[in-house]
């Protein structure tokens, strides 16, 4: 008699859940593995596009597609919020009353914004003078606001790490400089970038490059600022050290945590709702049959789509091995790369992993894209990425010549050692 297929249940149908489902569907016959995906809605947002919405460079409907349409045939789709996981019974309960059981669980529910965790953020000025561009509602409302904003103090504030795409707030500052310059009102606006980090970015060489770009563009940098409160009446950020930063328009990046159901699932997540995960294999540390992909994992890598993509290749191999009862041998090296929009149709590119910080040079080889340097070609790369996202990354096609490991061949290795910090030393100041 034929054996029952094993059951793989994937929580979250975003970047990670979708690419893993599609890649695994190609590896297993339906008679070997049943694959189901759960998500709370059917709107898949291309999140990097949110950066462009406030400046009218992307329209909301250009960056959203239906989730179930991104999944290949033979993958089940359940549209309901997840309520909880019972890691002992191997079951997941959904808000619509369904209870799903699994042999292997993949947690890919990303991170959620938690504006309510900062005093005053959800206050009377929310979506009036205090905005975020990290979700569609905020990005669209901010587009309207920026339309009429012509003078005063624009303050960009990252409340605390971790956040998705840690360079996006810097890109917002660069694009705001460009946008206000084009409008002819740049002289009437002060732009201030306020961060809890001790520099513009977490990694030393890139941090120095980005800080000097901020300076060139006349953007003020305030570091080691830990926001205690947004004072709605007084229109100012108040720090735990009692420093105050007045604003006319505040663009904030709220605290991030894991998906809400994690807290309701005993033993699944840490204090912030992220899942303890092996840095290299993407197997969770909470149960051997639970794997984690993307922002939901607590690995010391950026919460970014590129990271999710590179992790995905390793994860798929390891889930295959796990189902076959073999040892997990594929290893993720922490590889991340991101284009950083710097305004005026330019961008720079950074590429790094757990061990090596972003270095100058070229990607992926010595004749490739310039690293850590502004160029038009990188800006085009960033724009082309959306098409690659829908047609390459989500369906699970490989890019020729680009593997999940970070390439070293085009990099300026002289700087290794001078500023290189192993992951264990990439700490943050508080």
Partner 1 sequence: MTTKLLAGTPVEVNEEGFFVDPDVWTEDMATELAAEANIAVPLTDKHWQVLHYMRKEYFEKGTGPTVRKLGKSSGVTVKELYQLFPKGPAKLAALCAGIPKPRGCV
Interface mask (CB under 6 A) for ligand FAD, residues 348-387, using x and -? ----------------------------------------
Nearer Cβ to partner 1, position 386 or 421?
421
User: d(Cα 185, Cα 197) in Å, to the nearest integer?
Assistant: 30
Q: Which range binds ligand FAD by CB under 6 A, 54-62, 144-152, 295-303, 363-371?
A: 295-303
Contact 69, 18 (CB under 8 A): no
Contacts of 61 by beta carbon, 8 Å cutoff, 6+ apart: none
* Interface residue with ligand FAD, options 168, 170, 251, 315 (CB under 6 A): 168
Nearer Cβ to ligand FAD, position 38 or 142?
38
User: d(Cα 146, Cα 133) in Å, to the nearest integer?
Assistant: 12
User: d(Cα 388, Cα 386) in Å, to the nearest integer?
Assistant: 5
User: d(Cα 358, Cα 86) in Å, to the nearest integer?
Assistant: 40
Contacts of 320 by beta carbon, 8 Å cutoff, 6+ apart: 24, 27, 28
Nearer Cβ to ligand FAD, position 9 or 165?
165
**231 in helix, strand or coil?**
strand
Whole-number Cα distances in Å, 10 to 16, 82, 89:
10, 11, 16
Q: Does 295 bind ligand FAD (CB under 6 A)?
A: yes
Nearer Cβ to partner 1, position 47 or 118?
118
Whole-number Cα distances in Å, 340 to 280, 345, 346, 403:
26, 11, 9, 21
**What does the block give as tokens for 193?**
């970038």
Q: Does 51 bind ligand FAD (CB under 6 A)?
A: yes
User: d(Cα 66, Cα 77) in Å, to the nearest integer?
Assistant: 12
Work out how close the CB of 354 gets to ligand FAD at its nearest, in angstroms, rounded to a whole number: 17
Q: Does 305 bind ligand FAD (CB under 6 A)?
A: yes
Whole-number Cα distances in Å, 319 to 31, 43, 74, 150, 328:
17, 27, 18, 53, 8
H helices of 183-277, in order, are: 204-216
Work out how close the CB of 79 gets to ligand FAD at its nearest, in angstroms, rounded to a whole number: 9
Sign of the CA dihedral with 118 first, then 122, 124, and 129 last: positive
**What does the block give as tokens for 126?**
């929310």
Instruction: Count residues near ligand FAD (CB under 6 A).
Output: 36
Q: Does 146 bind ligand FAD (CB under 6 A)?
A: no
Residue 15 binds which entry of partner 1, ligand FAD, none, with Cβ cut-offs from 5 to 8 Å by kind? ligand FAD
Work out how close the CB of 389 gets to partner 1 at its nearest, in angstroms, rounded to a whole number: 22
Nearer Cβ to ligand FAD, position 63 or 328?
63
Residue 426 binds which entry of partner 1, ligand FAD, none, with Cβ cut-offs from 5 to 8 Å by kind? partner 1
Q: Does 265 bind ligand FAD (CB under 6 A)?
A: no
Nearer Cβ to ligand FAD, position 175 or 415?
175
Q: Does 39 bind ligand FAD (CB under 6 A)?
A: yes
Half-sphere exposure of 185 (CA within 13 A, CB side): 15
Which residues make beta-bridge pairs with 371? 361
Work out how close the CB of 307 gets to ligand FAD at its nearest, in angstroms, rounded to a whole number: 7
Rg, Å, the chain Cα set = 22
Nearer Cβ to ligand FAD, position 262 or 415?
262
Q: Does 402 bind ligand FAD (CB under 6 A)?
A: no
Taking CB positions, which residue lies at the least distance from ligand FAD? 14
* Interface residue with ligand FAD, options 9, 24, 35, 50 (CB under 6 A): 50
Nearer Cβ to ligand FAD, position 68 or 289?
68
Residues that bind ligand FAD (CB under 6 A): 12-17, 38-41, 47-48, 50-51, 81-82, 108-110, 133-134, 164-165, 168, 259-261, 294-296, 303-306, 308, 338
């Amino acid at each position: 008699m034929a054996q029952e297929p094993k059951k793989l249940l994937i929580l979250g149908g975003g970047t990670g859940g979708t690419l893993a489902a599609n890649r695994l569907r190609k590896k297993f016959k339906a008679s070997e593995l049943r694959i189901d995906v759960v998500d709370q809605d059917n709107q898949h947002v291309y999140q990097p596009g949110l950066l462009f919405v406030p400046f009218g460079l992307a329209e909301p409907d250009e960056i959203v597609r239906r989730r179930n349409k991104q999944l290949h045939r033979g993958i089940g789709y359940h549209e309901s919020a997840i309520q909880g996981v019972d890691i002992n019974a191997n079951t997941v309960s959904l808000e619509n009353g369904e209870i799903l059981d699994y042999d292997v669980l993949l947690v890919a529910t990303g991170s959620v914004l938690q504006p309510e965790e900062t005093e005053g953020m959800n206050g009377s000025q929310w979506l009036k003078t205090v905005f975020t561009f990290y979700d569609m509602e905020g990005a669209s409302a901010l587009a309207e606001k920026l339309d009429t904003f012509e003078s005063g103090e624009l303050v960009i504030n990252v409340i605390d790490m971790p956040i998705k795409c840690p360079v996006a707030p810097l890109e917002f500052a660069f694009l705001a400089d460009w946008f206000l310059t084009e409008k002819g009102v740049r002289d009437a606006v002060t732009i201030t970038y306020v961060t809890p980090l001790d520099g513009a970015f977490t990694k030393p060489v890139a941090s120095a490059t980005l800080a000097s770009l901020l300076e060139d563009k006349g953007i003020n940098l305030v570091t080691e600022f830990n926001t205690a409160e947004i004072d709605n009446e007084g229109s100012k950020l108040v720090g735990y050290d009692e420093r105050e930063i007045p604003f006319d328009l505040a663009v904030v990046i709220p605290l991030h945590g894991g998906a809400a159901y994690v807290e309701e699932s005993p033993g699944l997540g840490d204090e912030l709702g992220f899942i303890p995960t092996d840095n290299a294999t993407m197997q969770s540390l909470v149960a051997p049959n639970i794997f984690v992909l993307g922002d939901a994992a607590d690995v010391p890598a950026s919460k970014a789509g590129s990271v999710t993509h590179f992790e995905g290749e390793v994860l798929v191999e390891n889930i295959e091995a796990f189902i076959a009862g073999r040892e997990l041998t594929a290893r993720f090296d922490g590889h991340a790369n991101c284009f950083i929009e710097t305004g005026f149709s330019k961008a720079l590119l950074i590429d790094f992993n757990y061990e090596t910080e972003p270095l100058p040079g070229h990607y992926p080889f010595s004749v490739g894209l310039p690293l850590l340097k502004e160029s038009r070609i990188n800006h085009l790369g960033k724009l082309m990425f959306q098409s690659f996202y829908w047609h390459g990354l989500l369906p699970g096609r490989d890019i020729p010549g680009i593997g999940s490991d970070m390439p070293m061949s085009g990099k300026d290795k002289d700087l290794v050692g001078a500023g290189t910090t192993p992951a264990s030393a990439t700490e943050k100041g508080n």
